[in-house]
Amino acid sequence: MLDIKLFRTEPELIKENIRKKFQDEKLPLVDEVVEMDKEYRATKTKCDEYRAKRNKLSKEIGGLMAKGQKDEAEKVKAEVKLLGEELPKLEAREVELEEEIKKRMMVIPNIIDPSVPIGKDDSENVEIEKFGDPFVPDFEVPYHVDIMENLNGIDLDSARQTSGNGFYYLKGDIARLHSAILSYARDFMIDRGFTYYIPPFMIRSNVVNGVMSFAEMENMMYKIEGEDLYLIGTSEHSMIGKFIDTITPEADLPQTLTSYSPCFRKEVGAHGIEERGVYRIHQFEKQEMIVVCKPEDSKSWYDKLWQNSVDFFRTLDIPVRTLECCSGDLADLKVKSCDVEAWSPRQKKYFEVGSCSNLGDAQARRLGIRIKGENGNYFAHTLNNTVVAPPRMLIAFLENNLNEDGSIRIPEPLRMYMGGKSVIEVPVKK
């Protein structure tokens, strides 16, 4: 949500930003906010004047009565009564205008960073840099589910019976590998100075509205029937919500947090749910990183966060690249975002395994996350990034560490979490 002062001083800047995001249908909202804000301020001023006048006149009544000026006192009483009748109408209009302004401001996109490339959708995202050499072995790399089934590590048929498409049972060494990757990701981030959290997996609607746009919520979130609770789509939601209505001293910043959680998503949209696979699913687990910092530090933290993901994947021998999200692919709250994509030897292309985002003060304004500075309080900046999100990440891991006989190499950093194993062998069929 933008600062209302920006609507008063630079409405054309807001409109130009809307055009850059190819959301021209929202252009009229800017003028509506400007006009409503004028009426709101005038109404608020009149309310304040009426209240002050009513209080002043009320005090005069006692003085007039004490002097025996009963007729004058009655005239003042009548005036006070009239003010008392008009004031609730004005106050109701003030509240109505405030709500209507906020409703419009909540769907107007954040001002994007000048460095963001202009484009309509993800097809116009821009490659930034590659890390590691993409490799295609001289043997065929099977589909990821076939690799896991060959290792007796996944059961999709049973999951469809219990839960439907978009769910899975992992088992044996594949399930252990899944947990090992998350444990390694946890320790990787702790070693980089982040504090480890396990957050609530359900949050209230005011937190949901604070961390994401309404369109995102409708396409992602599962609501708990009969309660003001939603299942989280990522631990970022809980972790940013942790700071709701807080004032953090500058000396306590930055707050650098890493959190584990299961994630639940409807996955409504063009991509849909895979019937056979674990790339786009309703339930998965993730290790996340979150930063709350001073505005002047958010750009440097953005670069540190995506670099953490790149470094993590490279320790597991997985080539990756970073991809700058264009203006039309940015969610409305984001100032800047990039995807980290892993190399797929089977598809001979990269695919998304994580996303790093700088949201500026958008979430902080919605949730009241402030910093206490020497010259007063101001809004914080918030950032988030995926460390790792298996089982999607398992696809990249399995393809890039697959041996010709179907076994899987275990890179050295994961071995301590796999009971010392250096290879996952193909089970001998009985």
Q: Which of 54, 186, 392, 399 is catalytic?
A: 392
Q: With helix as H, strand as E and coil as C, how does 89-123 read?
A: HHHHHHHHHHHHHHHHHCCCCCCCCCCCCCCCCHH
Question: Catalytic annotation on 280?
Answer: yes
**Which residue, 120, 162, 144, is CA-closest to 24?**
120
C-alpha–C-alpha distance, residues 273 and 42, integer Å: 51
Q: Which of 355, 366, 370, 399 is catalytic?
A: 355
Q: Which tokens is 340 given?
A: 């980290």
Question: Catalytic annotation on 365?
Answer: no
Q: Which helix (H) or strand (E) holds 206?
A: helix 205-211
Q: Which of 39, 79, 86, 352 is catalytic?
A: 352
C-alpha–C-alpha distance, residues 386 and 355, integer Å: 6
| Core vs surface per residue 22-60: b (16+ CB within 10 A) or e | ebeebeebbeebeebbeebeebbeebeebeeebeeeeeb
- SS3 label, residue 260: strand
Q: Which tokens is 99 given?
A: 């709500």
Residue type at 95 in one-letter notation: V
Question: Catalytic annotation on 265?
Answer: yes
Question: Catalytic annotation on 352?
Answer: yes
Q: Which of 54, 186, 265, 366 is catalytic?
A: 265
CB 177 within 8 A of CB 423: no
Q: Which of 93, 280, 409, 415 is catalytic?
A: 280
Question: Catalytic annotation on 392?
Answer: yes
Residue type at 210 in one-letter notation: G
**Active site residue ranges:** 265, 280, 352, 355, 392
